[in-house]
């Protein structure tokens, strides 16, 4: 039987109906990122509009599945996709409950094991909540709110067990019905699941909610996968409508900043904005085909793809939360031939599996794509649904993603056939634009690095591998002629016992000072090594620390041998201000900064949500000068007052309020100066004019009553006249940032203006 080409998935989906997310049991579930609360399902069931999508022809579906299940490029079908057309404008019922507008509609799929939905329009006002709940109240999804809105405008909602569910929207009290726009364009009837197994006794053990793979597959948590416990956390199952479409993996970038880039195959592409990405769907043991289904992210945007190596890079709409404990896999773009290779994947939509090629792949070409060719798996295998999954080299770095192949199970063993993976090194620099290659995204600083380990956990084990970090530093600016006494955290990531290490430290580029350590550190153990007291210079200080030897020899992994930190200090007279923030209900939208002459001195936020009324007090140590406080709200509705009575207050050294705020849209700024400078907001005391805007980024004007023919002078901080004339507009565009004085010649009237870029 010949292998199908890369367009198989698209052609097959056009020919037959799709499938849905299924549940292994009718239990309360929470899928994708939601924002708390519970549906208002304590109301009596009423005659809400019912959208009934009827039964499905299981016999015909089984006949189709018998053909397509054999093909690797074919996505694994487990539900039927139905076109839908209803939402808050039509197809539901509105009511008012406790002053809040409520909309509900019922979805019915007789005989379904589970139902999923897709909103092609999802626009919810702040304070509104959407839930999807089983009509028997056995489980629900949500709340989804304004934070669930996607750049694509839609939202794919994951699995809910059962054959009848309620879609519910509850708006903020007093809001109009047209404040929300919800429209459902797809409903998926899940038909393959537990009852498809030969017997009920086998079902719980042998079938998963999204599909079942062949008996020769190896669960990732079998003993064979023990060394891959870090990398497995990067791999996810891709669900699209009613298909367990493909697999893929989060990938690291050279900034090590957790940008959620997700690598899969080009031939898997449909609309990534409608995909649901399921992480940690794995059996906890070496047996079984059930695992968590609630670690999901909805939606993503395609940033690069190319058929020349069959890759696609997706930027997920949301960063997987810390609770998912994901890993961003490392990669190698050198093209070096690996001695062996390992695949981690979701065959046929099943729980996560692992396979091993002990004699290593070779380079080749398949279907016009540059590939790694695996002649035969020595343990485990891949299947349909594995497409797009990562291939790792012995250093635990991704070198490709699954394109296709003949490999499959033949009973309890694999069939000895070949697979091929698109080559990462070709994907790295193929094509002429960022949209056709990986390097622009995974090496944003254009560092030229061609291989990195995973993040946040390193992927490779070395015998001698010490790592250093700097601790004991002040959180904020050090006031006065300050000193610090930092420490070095020395960690042993190597497999050998670490008994000695040589460290060096240097402050502000001074000659390195050597520090010797000896002791006994097992793998992953850490110890704090004290450094001497250091006197800081005025301004920004840089502390560099290095590990130069481990166990009396060169450390095998230089990637974690250096650490650097910056510490700001004000050596002259200082003043202590306080910023008091009162959070609203959405602290995650609030950020702030204090800057001077374009340099950010302090910054804070975002904060947690649902902490309305909580006060955050920040001490600000400031040297003599003028500053700008800027408070921002990412949603554009300020800190007060619709969603909590939040706000901010700036207190001076004497504890007296300097400024307050909180009612704004995107942001508001406040200029203030320490007492020694004495710059007034507009005009100086006794002056009849003011300066607008102040602070300024260049051009400003003088407003107020001035004598006819009055001459205005502009002085710099040294008292030198830098401009003079009878006009009322000045342009500081070519001047250095700082404080300037506007003076009416021959009088005592002055006003100060701050130039800030």
What does the pLDDT read at residue 232? 97
End position of a domain, from candidates 452, 483, 505: 452
Instruction: Please name the residues in contact with 370: beta carbons below 8 A apart, sequence gap of 6 or more.
Output: 308, 309, 363, 364, 422, 423, 426
* Average pLDDT estimate for 604-631: 89
- Of 17, 116, 148, 387, the active-site residue reads 387
Determine, yes or no, domain membership for 568. Answer: no
Determine, yes or no, domain membership for 212. Answer: no
| 212 or 214, higher pLDDT | 214
Q: Give the containing element (helix H, strand E) for 14.
A: helix 8-15
pLDDT tens for 733-744 read 888 877 788 888
Q: Is residue 413 domain-shared with residue 511, that is, in the same domain?
A: no
Known active-site residue 82: no
* Average pLDDT estimate for 169-180: 93
Determine, yes or no, domain membership for 1. Answer: no
Determine, yes or no, domain membership for 626. Answer: yes
Give the integer Cα–Cα distance in Å for 448 and 238: 31
* Average pLDDT estimate for 439-455: 90
Which DSSP string corresponds to 583-637? --SBGGGEEEEEEETTEEEEEE----BS-TT-EEEEEEEEESSEEEEEEEETTSS
Torsion of CA 731, 733, 738, 741, to 10 degrees: -10
pLDDT tens for 302-349 read 999 999 999 999 999 999 999 999 999 999 999 999 999 999 999 988
Centre a 10 Å sphere on the Cβ of residue 15 and count the other Cβ atoms it contains.
9
Give the integer Cα–Cα distance in Å for 251 and 237: 15
User: Is it the case that residue 1 has pLDDT exceeding 50?
Assistant: no
Q: Is residue 507 domain-shared with residue 373, that is, in the same domain?
A: no
What does the pLDDT read at residue 427? 97
Q: Is residue 250 domain-shared with residue 395, that is, in the same domain?
A: yes
User: Is it the case that residue 681 has pLDDT exceeding 80?
Assistant: no
Determine, yes or no, domain membership for 567. Answer: no
Known active-site residue 310: yes
Residue 8 phi, psi (nearest 5): -55, -50
Q: Give the containing element (helix H, strand E) for 15.
A: helix 8-15
Give the integer Cα–Cα distance in Å for 635 and 318: 16
User: Is it the case that residue 388 has pLDDT exceeding 90?
Assistant: yes
Residue 381 phi, psi (nearest 5): -165, 175
Q: Is residue 373 domain-shared with residue 440, that is, in the same domain?
A: yes
**For the ranges 192-196, 286-290, 614-618, which has the lowest average pLDDT?**
192-196
| 693 or 9, higher pLDDT | 693
Residue 329 CA from chain centroid, whole number: 14
Q: Is residue 263 domain-shared with residue 294, that is, in the same domain?
A: yes
- Terminal CA-to-CA distance of the chain, rounded, Å? 68
End position of a domain, from candidates 487, 521, 555: 555
pLDDT tens for 110-168 read 999 889 899 999 999 999 999 999 999 988 998 999 999 988 889 988 878 889 999 99
* Average pLDDT estimate for 226-240: 94
Query: Nearest to residue 249, comparing CAs of 164, 100, 144, 354?
Result: 354
pLDDT tens for 491-533 read 888 889 999 999 999 999 999 999 999 999 998 788 999 999 9
User: Is it the case that residue 642 has pLDDT exceeding 50?
Assistant: yes
pLDDT band, very low/low/confident/very high, at 202 (cuts 50, 70, 90) = very low
Q: Is residue 226 domain-shared with residue 184, that is, in the same domain?
A: no
**How many domains does the chain fold into?**
5
CATH of residue 494: 2.60.40.10
Determine, yes or no, domain membership for 208. Answer: no
User: Is it the case that residue 593 has pLDDT exceeding 60?
Assistant: yes
CATH of residue 246: 2.40.10.10
Q: Domain of 487? A: 466-555
Q: Is residue 420 domain-shared with residue 544, that is, in the same domain?
A: no
Computed over every residue of the chain, the mean pLDDT equals: 86
Q: Is residue 481 domain-shared with residue 431, that is, in the same domain?
A: no
Determine, yes or no, domain membership for 3. Answer: no
pLDDT band, very low/low/confident/very high, at 419 (cuts 50, 70, 90) = very high
In Å, what is the CA distance from 662 to each residue of 90, 328, 479, 648?
Answer: 39, 38, 29, 6
* Average pLDDT estimate for 572-596: 91
- Of 183, 189, 267, 396, the active-site residue reads 267
Which DSSP string corresponds to 222-281? SGGGGGGTTGGGGEEEEEETTEEEEEEEEE--TT-S---EEEE-GGG-S-GGGEEEEES-
Give the integer Cα–Cα distance in Å for 133 and 146: 19
Beta carbons of 189 and 53 less than 8 angstroms apart: yes
User: Is it the case that residue 569 has pLDDT exceeding 50?
Assistant: yes
What does the pLDDT read at residue 550? 95
Determine, yes or no, domain membership for 563. Answer: no
- Of 145, 310, 317, 584, the active-site residue reads 310
pLDDT band, very low/low/confident/very high, at 748 (cuts 50, 70, 90) = low
Residue 671 phi, psi (nearest 5): -90, 135
User: Is it the case that residue 679 has pLDDT exceeding 70?
Assistant: no
Q: Is residue 109 domain-shared with residue 52, that is, in the same domain?
A: yes
| Pure H helices in 309-465 | 424-429, 439-442
What does the pLDDT read at residue 445? 84
Q: Is residue 377 domain-shared with residue 230, that is, in the same domain?
A: yes
Known active-site residue 666: no
pLDDT band, very low/low/confident/very high, at 719 (cuts 50, 70, 90) = low
Q: Is residue 150 domain-shared with residue 262, that is, in the same domain?
A: no
pLDDT tens for 256-290 read 899 999 999 999 998 898 899 999 999 999 987 78
pLDDT tens for 151-163 read 888 998 887 888 9
CATH of residue 723: 2.60.40
Give the integer Cα–Cα distance in Å for 292 and 278: 9
pLDDT tens for 531-551 read 999 999 888 899 999 999 999
What does the pLDDT read at residue 73? 63
User: Is it the case that residue 433 has pLDDT exceeding 80?
Assistant: yes
End position of a domain, from candidates 673, 705, 737: 673
Q: Is residue 490 domain-shared with residue 545, that is, in the same domain?
A: yes
């Amino acid at each position: 039987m010949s292998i199908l080409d890369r367009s198989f998935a698209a052609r097959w989906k056009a020919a037959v109906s799709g499938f849905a997310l299924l549940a292994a049991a009718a239990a309360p579930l929470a899928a994708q990122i939601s924002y708390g609360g519970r549906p208002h399902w304590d109301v009596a069931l009423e005659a809400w509009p019912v959208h009934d999508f009827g039964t499905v022809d299981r016999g015909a579906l089984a006949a189709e599945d018998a053909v397509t299940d054999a093909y690797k490029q074919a996505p694994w079908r487990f539900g039927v996709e139905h076109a839908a057309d209803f939402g808050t404008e039509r197809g539901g019922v509105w009511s008012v409950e406790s002053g809040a507008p409520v909309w509900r509609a019922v979805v019915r799929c007789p005989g379904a094991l589970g139902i999923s939905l897709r909103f092609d329009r999802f626009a919810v006002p702040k304070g509104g909540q959407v839930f999807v709940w089983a009509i028997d109240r056995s489980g629900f999804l949500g709340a989804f709110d304004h934070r669930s809105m996607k750049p694509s405008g839609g939202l794919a909602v994951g699995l809910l067990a059962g054959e009848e569910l309620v879609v519910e929207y509850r708006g903020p009290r007093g809001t109009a019905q047209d404040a929300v726009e919800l429209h459902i364009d797809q409903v998926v009837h899940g038909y393959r699941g537990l009852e498809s197994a030969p017997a009920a006794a086998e079902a719980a053990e042998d079938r998963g909610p999204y599909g079942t793979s062949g008996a020769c597959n190896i669960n990732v948590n079998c003993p064979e996968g023990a060394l891959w416990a870090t990398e497995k956390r990067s791999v996810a199952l891709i669900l699209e409508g009613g298909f367990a479409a493909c697999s893929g993996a989060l990938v690291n970038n050279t900034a090590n900043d957790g940008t959620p880039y997700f690598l899969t195959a080009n031939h898997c592409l449909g609309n990534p904005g409608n995909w649901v990405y399921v992480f940690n769907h794995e059996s906890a043991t070496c047996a079984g085909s059930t695992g968590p289904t609630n670690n999901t992210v909805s939606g993503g945007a395609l940033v690069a793809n190319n058929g020349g190596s069959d890759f696609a890079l997706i930027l997920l709409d949301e960063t997987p939360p810390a609770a998912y404990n994901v890993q961003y896999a490392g990669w190698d773009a050198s093209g070096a031939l690996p001695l062996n290779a390992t695949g981690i994947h979701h065959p046929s939509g099943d729980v996560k599996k692992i396979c091993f090629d002990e004699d290593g792949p070779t380079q080749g070409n398949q279907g016009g794509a540059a590939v790694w060719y695996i002649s035969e798996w020595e343990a485990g295998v891949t299947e349909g649904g594995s497409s797009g999954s990562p291939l790792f080299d012995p250093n635990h770095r991704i070198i490709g993603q699954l394109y296709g192949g003949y490999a499959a199970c033949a009973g309890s063993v694999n069939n000895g056939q070949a697979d091929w993976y698109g080559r990462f090194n070709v994907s790295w620099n193929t094509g002429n634009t960022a949209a056709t290659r990986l390097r622009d995204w995974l090496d944003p600083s254009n560092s030229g690095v061609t291989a990195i380990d995973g993040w946040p956990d390193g992927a490779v084990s070395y015998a001698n591998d010490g790592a250093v970090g700097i601790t004991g530093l002040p959180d904020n600016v050090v006031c006065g002629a300050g000193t610090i006494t930092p420490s070095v955290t020395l960690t042993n990531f190597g497999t050998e016992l670490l008994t000695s290490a040589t460290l060096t430290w240097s402050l502000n580029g001074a000659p390195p000072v050597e520090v010797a350590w000896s002791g006994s550190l097992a793998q992953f153990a850490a110890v704090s090594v004290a450094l001497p007291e250091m006197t800081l210079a005025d301004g920004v200080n840089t502390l560099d620390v290095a590990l130069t030897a481990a166990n009396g020899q060169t450390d095998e992994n230089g990637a974690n041998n250096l650490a650097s930190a910056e510490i700001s200090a004000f050596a002259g007279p200082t003043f202590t201000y306080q910023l008091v923030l009162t959070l609203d209900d959405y602290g995650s939208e609030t950020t702030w900064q204090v800057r001077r002459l374009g340099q950010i001195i302090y910054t804070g936020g975002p904060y947690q949500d649902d902490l309305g009324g909580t006060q955050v007090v920040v001490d600000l140590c400031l040297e003599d000068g003028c500053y700008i406080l800027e408070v921002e709200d990412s949603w554009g509705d300020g800190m007060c007052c619709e969603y909590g009575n939040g706000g901010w207050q700036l207190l001076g050294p004497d504890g007296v309020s300097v400024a307050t705020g909180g009612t704004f849209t995107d942001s508001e700024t406040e200029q203030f100066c320490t007492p020694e400078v004495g710059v007034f907001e507009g005009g100086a005391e006794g002056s009849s004019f003011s300066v607008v805007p102040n602070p300024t980024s260049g051009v400003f004007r003088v407003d107020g009553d001035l004598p006819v023919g009055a001459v205005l002078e502009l002085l710099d901080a040294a008292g030198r006249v830098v401009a003079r004339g009878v006009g009322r507009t000045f342009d500081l565009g070519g001047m250095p940032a700082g404080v300037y004085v506007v003076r009416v010649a021959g009088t005592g009237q002055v006003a100060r203006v701050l130039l800030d870029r």
